[in-house]
Copies of this chain bind each other. A is one copy, B any other.
Amino acid sequence: MAPRIVTLTTDFGWRDSYVAAMKGVLYSRCPGISVVDLTHDIGPQRIMEAGLFLSGAVPWFPKGTIHLVIVDPGVGGERHPMAAKVDGQYFVGPDNGFLSHLLQRFPLERAVALDNPERHLSVVSDTFHGRDIFAPSAAHLACGGKLEELGTELDVLETLPLKAVAVQDDGSVQGEIVHIDRFGNCISNIGTDHFSEACKAQVGKHKLAVARTYAAVQRGKAVALFGSSGWLEIAVREGSAAEKLGIDCGARVTLRRG
């Protein structure tokens, strides 16, 4: 069997040598491996941002893919290194809740603590488990090793509380903006399950009809729509909604019929 794909999602950026060192370990421990950069631009130590990122990316990868996810403010502290299988794909990283978004949609199949030192580098630093514990563990899986060879079974993983939407008595739904993308599109936590025909979205003083595509309005005009990952977003056609409407993360969004 050809080695599996290992993807990288980190908050390391590209300027320092941390990502490069991890790639070195992966290629050293599993010759023939395919390493795929997803992002290294997660905000420093922002676990929730990594969780949201993964929920938009992971479902498109094939079964058996290994995702190495290193956003690790607690390195050297009490959080445990772990590996998990969710919906046929593998995740390797600190047990700090980065899987929270995915575990809302997919069941945890299996998880282990990375407590078998035979699968780590021979010397393990206190400050860079990405290179010394997580990369060799991912390489082990990529070259056909089994999850249970990495350590002892875990029953549960850490999860972080996600912002829930509130359904009001009048049927309207209240959520908030949780991500602003490169184009200035403002993405909320209101999912397509709350969509119905002829509903309107309100953010600040702006009331917007919910359309199907950016092209439903003229250039420079604001529009609300359910975006490609299934979340209600506020956009400006060929412009930035965040700038034009003055929206930040945390802004309240209300979806109502009529």
How many interface residues does A have (CB within 8 Å)?
Answer: 70
15 contacts across the A-B interface (CB closer than 8 A): A5-B27, A14-B37, A17-B38, A17-B54, A18-B181, A24-B57, A27-B61, A31-B62, A74-B215, A75-B215, A76-B216, A125-B228, A126-B225, A127-B227, A128-B228
Q: Decide: A36 and B38 in contact? CB cutoff 8 A.
A: no
Closest residue on chain B to residue A39 by CB atoms: B14
- Cα distance, A62 to B128, chains bound together (Å): 19
- Say yes or no: is A229 at the interface (Cβ < 8 Å to chain B): yes
Binary CB contact string for chain A from 74 to 97 against chain B (1 if under 8 A, 0 otherwise) = 111110000000000000000000
Residue positions of A touching B, CB distance < 8 A: 2, 5, 7, 9, 11-25, 27-28, 31-32, 35-41, 44-45, 52-62, 65, 73-78, 125-128, 131-132, 179, 181-183, 212-216, 225, 227-229, 238
Copies assembled = 3
Closest residue on chain B to residue A213 by CB atoms: B76
Name, among A20, A65, A74, the residue most crowded by chain B CB atoms within 10 Å (CB to CB).
Answer: A20
CB distance from A96 to the nearest CB of B (A): 12
Q: Decide: A16 and B182 in contact? CB cutoff 8 A.
A: yes
Q: Please, which residues of chain B bring their CB within 8 A of the CB of A77?
A: 213-215
- Cα distance, A36 to B23, chains bound together (Å): 8
Known: A183-B44, A228-B131. A60 touches B24 (CB 8 A): yes
Q: Please, which residues of chain B bring their CB within 8 A of the CB of A21?
A: 56-57, 60, 228
Q: Please, which residues of chain B bring their CB within 8 A of the CB of A22?
A: 60
